[in-house]
Structure 1
Amino acid sequence: GTGSAVGKTTISTGIMKALQDENVQPFKVGPDFIDPSYHTIATGNVSRNLDSFFMDEFQIINSFERAMKISKANMGIIEGVRGLYEGISPISDIGNTASIAKALDAPVVLLMDSRSLVKSAAAVVLGFKALDPDVRIEGVILNKVKGPRHFKKAKESVEKLANVPVIGGIPRNEEIAVEERHLGLVPALEKEKINRNIELWGNIAEEYIDLDALKDIMKTSDKSALKDNKGKAIESMEEGNNYGHRVDLSIHEDEFNREHNEAINLEVTNGSKPGELWKTGNKAPIKIGVAIDEIFTFYYKETLESLEDNGAKIVPFSPYKDDEIPDVDALYIGGGYPEVFKKELSENESMLKSINKFHNEDRPIYGECGGLIYLSESIDGLGMVNAIPYSAEMTPRVQGLNYVVARSNRDNLISEEGDIFRAHEFHYTKLNIDNTDDLVFDVLRGRGVLNNMDGVSVRNTLANYIHIHACSCPNFAYNFTKNIAELD
């Protein structure tokens, strides 16, 4: 898109729905959990995240190819994030959509909010083309057009002055807007009527977008270029250049007020070999209970797959609906909206007691964000698991919204002392903790739980605000499964 709030999620999901019979594999640029849930419902294939902050170029290409192979998809559709060039830096491509397009040699269809734009629409497209000639902008969709006359004029302007075909014009329609919540769009699993909304978005895409032209644009992807890019990435890794995992922290000094603002580049601790997405080697037959229901939905598919690649069997359970945890060796409680459903969770006392007992038996538990506050003593005064002996509360303002670089300050459930990894944080809650004694991660970029630290470690439970992706912490699954197996 040309920016945020131009309609990327509704239009992208609508296109995916309209092309569902073609067997579409969906992707989302960036760390977001919610948009992919819409994609998954629209296509029937699990949407994957592609992120050049989390992943080096090889991981981007391999993740894309792996997903296409698993779903046996005929086409891949990638929803971008914010503006095409927006990432963590005003200069580099780290974390932006353009970096993904270049790594995959994928053509870009630019979505533009065209309200009050005619000739200026061409100027916008020309600017996007000129900024980086390596990004192939092959089509434009004009969103929020006033009517046929407006669309005709803006289309002519873009096609004649910017030399890019306009393949769609979506009229202004408040009906296609989706409800928002404090973490962005409301997650699809939470909305009973989402199927009807996605059906509407698909109908709009069929009516107002030239889908045949879109498919022709997809065919311009060069598989040989993708193969070349992958070869260069592996060659660079073999030479020891983990170039995709470098970030200059100095440009964030004003935002994060660091005492150590010198320009430094940090490499992720990478136990995997060139050609691997993450470290493997464990084959112990362990079972990990993963909290998956209407409340806990925030998991990266690759992270679960990395656990399976290291011998784990994933056993889903619901902290909301089930009476107790299943017969497992460890628990993984991811993010979601426990603060919204705190009453329902607090009333399931048998589940709370079951997890607390598991914790007090020193069984391994790992929690992220929503999992952290569910494992806490209470949320806004309502009792929770009480494995983490601090209370949590909802606040009216964002407490953390960052890409994160963290370093382990001691051995723990998922990493070893000195390990460096990347992650993401986004939360409105805060943990009422007044000391850093139990915090095992030094947060070099981001906020964390307290004083730029995260990862509350109590007994054999570890919980943090940061979300980890298997590609940004390649040792995660290996260490987690190894530590679980060693307890048996």
Structure 2
Amino acid sequence: MVLNTIATICPAVFIAAPASGQGKTTLTAGLARLYRQHGLQVQVFKTGPDFLDPLILERASGATVYNLDLWMGGAAHCQALLYQAALTADVIVVEGAMGLYDGHPSGAELAAQFALPVMCVIDAHAMAQTFAAIAWGLVNFQPGLTVAGVLANRVGSANHVALLTDALPESVRLLAAIRRDAALELPHRHLGLWQAEEITDLDARLDRIAAVLANTALVDLPPTVTFHPPPPALQTEVTSALRGVRIAIAHDRAFAFIYPANLDVLRAAGAELVNFSPLTDQTLPPCDAVYLPGGYPELYLRELAANQALIAALRAHHAANKPLLAECGGLLYTLTSLAAVHNEPIELLNLLPGHAQMQPRLVNLGLHEVTLPEGTLRGHTFHHSRSTVALAPLAQSTPQRPGASPESVWRIQRLTASYLHLYFPSNPDAAVRLFLP
């Protein structure tokens, strides 16, 4: 294998905000669609652990959206993803998570590490001169950031824009001011945005956002950034431990939360991947292992429970002592029963002896590390349910944030189940061992 040692350049921008809900995803998607309409190959990344925003951004850009997280994947892994993108893309757009300085490592740390120019999106609704104070604070709080400018979102009028920019220092450039328009918004539910396939007019919305941005300075490409190749350790050949192994992956409206990088790790190890739908498929594809990722099983409880043929097939797979990894929504599916908020429980796979109830509020959130017999992996948790399992856990995760609640990992035969969404690139060898026949 020939190692890449030459740096490459590519226009790039990091889209940030002072908080969640400012419109980052909407405007990132619109910008990606705008560049795509101009015939450019666009590579979008999402900062931090997230499954829903990337589905929207993938539709907008026409390319798979990968996650960048300095803790889950490490700096060298992020560097490799950005470098590979810069080799083929005409422009790179990175969407931040929450506020620019939230979390550790924060989006600001990622942007600074790779010299990505930062554009700050600020929801200016019900705001006047304070806009300038927030904008100035965002770009000056941490020295060393490269600043592309700011964008005022959800403004009311030309007079409103004037109020917003009266006190804006010359060093902070206003790139665009976007009017309030419900037609440009993207629908949300308890875990975040709707899935892309659920928004029937998504492409029309993306086109409308792109049309609005086409009348701003954002139509021009962002500054060029130099991207360096990853260290040699990340450019070596991977083992082919899964060659000849067929992994069936649940993928439909109920199960769609999976990192594209996880699939890359499995393919790189030689696995053949095939999708199936617990909602509609009556049979499990011939396979050596099963992967039940996260999703929204709570929204489709009756449909999942009614598919007894597929339930029987999964039970037979487990009884045959074949590998089965279940994450978050996948964990809920493997339990004896699951109940929506204030509803009666509905029986599901009954592979793991336990019950879960959806909660009206978030139960746990954060980055975690866990040591399993296969090795130590990193990932994240984000769920609105509480589970009671009549089984001693195989392991307990260690939260990255001190004082946060750990997550249990349970194992029965070859079933490994947890609320954790594991990030396979954090330890590819350990991830591969979870699926070895």
Pairwise same-fold verdict (TM > 0.5)? yes
Report the secondary structure of 1:141's partner residue.
strand
Residue 274 of structure 1 corresponds to which residue in structure 2? 233
Cα distance in 2 between the residues matched to 1:430 and 1:16: 38
CA distance in 2, matches of 1:374, 1:116: 44
Match of 1:59 in 2: 77
* Distance change in 2, residues 1:181/1:18 (3 Å): same
Give the drift of 1:288. Answer: 0.4
Tell me, what secondary structure is at the counterpart of 1:32? coil
**Which of residues 346, 357, 364 is equivalent to 1:400?**
364
Partner of 1:296: 255
Instruction: Give the alignment partner of residue 100 of structure 2, picking from 78, 81, 84.
Output: 84
Contact 1:12 1:79 in 2 (8 A): yes
Equivalent residue, structure 2, for 1:75: 91
Is residue 50 of structure 1 aligned with residue 68 of structure 2? yes
Give the aligned partner of residue 460 of structure 1: 414
- Contact 1:278–1:474, Cα closer than 8 Å, also in 2: no
Q: What per-residue deviation string (whole Å, max 9, x for no partner) do you get for residues 7-54 of structure 1?
A: 111111111111113121111111010000000111110111111121
Please, which of 164, 180, 183 is the counterpart of residue 175 of structure 1? 183
Of 134, 139, 147, 1:129 maps to 139
TM-score of the aligned structures, taking structure 1 as reference length: 0.79
Other-structure match for 2:380: 424
User: Which of 218, 221, 225 in structure 2 is aligned with 1:211?
Assistant: 218
| CA deviation string 1:270-290 (max 9, x = no partner) | xxx822599644252111001
Show the counterpart of 2:3: none
Give the superposition deviation at 1:446. Answer: 7.1
* In structure 2, C-alpha distance between the alignment counterparts of 1:469 and 1:378, rounded to whole Å: 27
Q: Which one has more relative contact order, counting CA pairs under 8 Å at least 6 apart?
A: 2
Matched residue, 2:199: 191
Shift in Å, 1:156: 5.1
Give 1:269's aligned residue.
none
Structure 2 distance, partners of 1:300, 1:84, is 22
Indicate if the aligned counterparts of 2:136 and 2:172 stay in contact, CA closer than 8 A: no
Partners of 2:407 and 2:418 within 8 A in 1: no
Aligned-partner SS, 2:395? strand
Decide whether aligned partners of structure 1 residues 85 and 463 sit closer, same or farther in structure 2, where only a CA change above 3 A counts: same
Tell whether the 8 Å contact from 1:141 to 1:168 is kept in structure 2 after alignment: yes
Structure 2: distance between partners of 1:452 and 1:82: 22
Whether contact under 8 Å (1:126, 1:162) holds in the other structure is no
Structure 2 residue identity aligned to 1:352: I
Q: CA RMSD for the aligned pairs? A: 2.3
Instruction: Kindly indicate which of the two structures has a greater share of residues assigned to strand.
Output: 2
Match of 1:7 in 2: 23
Alignment match of 1:335 (pick from 284, 294, 297): 294
Which whole-Å deviations, capped at 9, do the CAs of 1:163-198 have from their partners, x for residues lacking one?
Answer: 122110011223323222111111212333323332
Once the two structures are superposed, what CA deviation does each residue of 1:56-83 show, in whole Å capped at 9, x if it has no partner?
Answer: 21111101223455xx321111111111
Note if 1:368 corresponds to 2:372. no
Identity %: 27
Q: Distance in 1 between matches of 2:284 and 2:381?
A: 27
1:57 and 1:334 map into 2 onto residues whose CA distance is 25
TM superposition shift of 1:112: 1.1
Distance 2:245 2:390 in 1: 36
Unaligned runs of 5+ in 1: 89-93, 235-272
Residues 411-450 of structure 1: pairs in structure 2 closer than 5 A: 411=373, 415=374, 419-435=375-391, 437=392, 439-445=393-399
Displacement of 1:403: 1.2
TM-score by length of 2: 0.88
Rate the CA distance shift 1:19–1:335 in 2: closer, same or farther, 3 A.
same
Equivalent pairs, count? 412
Q: Does the 8 A contact of 2:72 with 2:367 survive in 1?
A: no
Code of the residue aligned with 2:148 in structure 1: it is E
Q: CA deviation at 1:430?
A: 2.0
Task: Write the distance in 2 (CA, Å) between the matches of 1:461 and 1:472.
Answer: 21
Q: How far apart are residue 355 of structure 1 and its match? A: 0.6
Report the Cα distance in structure 2 between the residues aligned to 1:474 and 1:425, rounded to whole angstroms.
Answer: 19
SS at match of 2:73: coil
- Which residue of structure 1 aligns with residue 32 of structure 2? 16
Instruction: Please state which structure has a larger fraction of its residues in helix.
Output: 1
Letter in 2 for 1:396: P
Q: 1:277 to 1:399 in 2, by over 3 A?
A: farther
2:129 and 2:360 mapped to 1: Cα distance? 41
